[in-house]
Structure 1
Amino acid sequence: MPNTLHIPLLAYIPSPPFNGFSVGPFFFHIYGICYVLAAAQAILITRKRWSKRGGDPDLVYGVAWWGFPAGLVGGRIYFDITTPSQMPHHWWGPFAIWDGGMGIWGGVALGAAVGYWYLRKHVGHLQADRFVNVVTPTLLIGQAIGRIGNYFNQELYGKPSKLPWALEISPAHRVPGYAHYATFQPSFLYEMLFDLFWAGVLIWLDNHRKVRPPAIFPLYVAGYSGYRIFEETIRIDYSQYILGMRLNFWVAIIGTIAGLVWFALIQFRRRPGGPAEPPDHPTRAYSQSAQA
């Protein structure tokens, strides 16, 4: 019989060999680089989309200058409050975003609140609401980029798995109690794919003017929270538990319900004594923006 060449199939996603690199005396974490890239894409995409609506593209810089640092602070505060045992045991532990990471809920909440405050102060609530519809999908794209950083940190993985796309985790990064397992559910990958999908859905809705400003944001909250209900059922990293479920499982349920209710209140609001207002017509919605 002729010799047959057997080519082994890739049966898992290999763990990364490093989580950063050095340039002289400085060490650059991939996680931090991903955050910078996430911020950059949000600025570039929002400038382009906002300019097409007749808005001032430079407005994006002001929002980013205030919103992104607030997101860092909010994300770390949420992490410190919900998982204090995971902070480094040093005076700088609460601030070490490269060690333990950040909580997305806190980052989005504080970053969005500060960014919206800036918008209201500079362009008023009507323009601010329309800007929110434009910028919101870039939050999901940024989160997807951030999940690449989770991969290099060997974090955000789920239960042990033998699936062909299971994620290899090196022994030093395995959750206590799971040291004898080598491959796990790649939660970071599932979330990255969902984030990109949901961002595409929100962009489509906004481009077709199906959603009243700023209702794209509550749809983002509801959709992402709905996904996290699933993710929290497969995560095994440390978490506070309430009624036998991870804390963020309950946060995700609350976020899903709140987002849907919030969306309905915006999308179907009524004028006093009148019928429900239709979504803004493209020309009417952005004519004021062009005159600003």
Structure 2
Amino acid sequence: MNYGSLVVGPWHFHWYGLIMSGAILCCILTCYCQILYRRLPVQPLLDMAVLAIPAGILGARLYYVIINWPYYSYHLGEIFCFSQGGFAMHGAMLGVILVLVGYAKYHSLPFGLYADAVAPGLALGQSLGQWANLVNQEAIGYPTYLSWGIYIDYAHRPVGYEEYDFFHPVFMYQSGADFGVFLILLVVGWLFRNRFGLKSGWLFFLYLILQSIGRIIVEFTRLDGEILYGVNIAQLGSLIFIVVASILLILRQRNYSNLWRKRQ
């Protein structure tokens, strides 16, 4: 594979961008199918997508730049060099969540219903988007002699591991974990929809919790993770997502249960 770009006549397409674009497209199509399945108006989804895509990309990049500010403070011209990679999934998630909440509130739409509908699509998009790390040879783990280990160019090898050629493809492990979350959301969303008094939004919070748990586990195998003061930033961010999502899920379900009992 040409890790630089795909050349078609006079046009040059970066593989990183092509993979990410494909992941976003699959995400939108999945969300669209879920919207139809849940019999919700489609137009709000399309409007949110127009806002959420740039918000997610910008959030992912700014989050990455912030946690790597010691480098970018001396390379300001590289901050918006998107083709070089350098995106943080937590930043993308924050950007998309802000759009969902803001759009639903501004247009008086049921946030929980739309959030539940887009949750599987977000998980699938994250799963497919992980493969963009292969292009820039990022998200790698410890050296390995296993058959699925990937070759890393000398210039991209972690410091202290230059003598090794093959490394664990952590991005592939994360992709598998996210795809597992996607399947779980589809199954439980179908089995438990409108059952057991579950309040709308529960599937979205479950997505945040499961995706974050998977990220914490996978990060233990990663060599090139972002470390600040001895703390893995991705794991810390995931832990915060788990705590906040769990609290919101419990509060939302408790309030709904109390309201249901009062009506009885």
**What TM-score do the two structures reach when normalised by structure 2?**
0.88
User: Does 2:53 align with 1:68?
Assistant: yes
Other-structure match for 2:81: 96
Q: CA deviation at 1:179?
A: 0.8
Moved more, 222-231 or 20-29: 20-29
Q: CA deviation at 1:17?
A: 4.3
> Is 2:143–2:166's contact at 8 Å kept on the other side of the alignment?
yes
- Separation (CA, whole Å) in 1 of partners of 2:82 and 2:172: 21
Q: CA deviation at 1:271?
A: 5.4
> Is 2:63–2:87's contact at 8 Å kept on the other side of the alignment?
yes
SS in 2 for 1:144: helix
**What TM-score do the two structures reach when normalised by structure 1?**
0.80
Other-structure match for 1:228: 215
Q: CA deviation at 1:27?
A: 2.4
User: 1:1-292 counterparts in 2 under 5 A?
Assistant: 16-85=1-70, 87=72, 90-122=75-107, 124-126=108-110, 128-208=111-191, 209=193, 211-237=198-224, 239-242=226-229, 244-270=230-256, 275=261
Q: CA deviation at 1:228?
A: 1.5
Q: CA deviation at 1:97?
A: 2.0
Give the RMSD, CA atoms, in angstroms: 2.3
Q: CA deviation at 1:94?
A: 1.1
Please tell me the residue identity of whatever aligns with 1:257: V
Stretches of structure 2 lacking an aligned partner (at least 5 in a row) = none
- Separation (CA, whole Å) in 2 of partners of 1:62 and 1:261: 29
**Higher Rg:** 1
Q: CA deviation at 1:100?
A: 3.7
Q: CA deviation at 1:276?
A: 9.1
> Which runs of at least 4 in structure 1 moved beyond 4 Å after TM superposition?
85-91, 270-274
Please tell me the residue identity of whatever aligns with 1:164: S
Please tell me the residue identity of whatever aligns with 2:34: R
Please tell me the residue identity of whatever aligns with 2:184: V
Q: In the TM superposition, what whole-angstrom CA distance separates every residue of 1:132-172 from its partner, at most 9, and x where no partner exists?
A: 10101111111111111111221111111222322221212
Moved more, 63-72 or 96-105: 96-105
SS in 1 for 2:131: helix
Count of aligned residue pairs for this structure pair: 259
SS in 1 for 2:17: helix
Please tell me the residue identity of whatever aligns with 1:241: L
> Is 1:198–1:223's contact at 8 Å kept on the other side of the alignment?
yes
Stretches of structure 1 lacking an aligned partner (at least 5 in a row) = 1-15, 278-292
SS in 2 for 1:95: coil
Please tell me the residue identity of whatever aligns with 1:22: V
> Is 1:134–1:206's contact at 8 Å kept on the other side of the alignment?
no
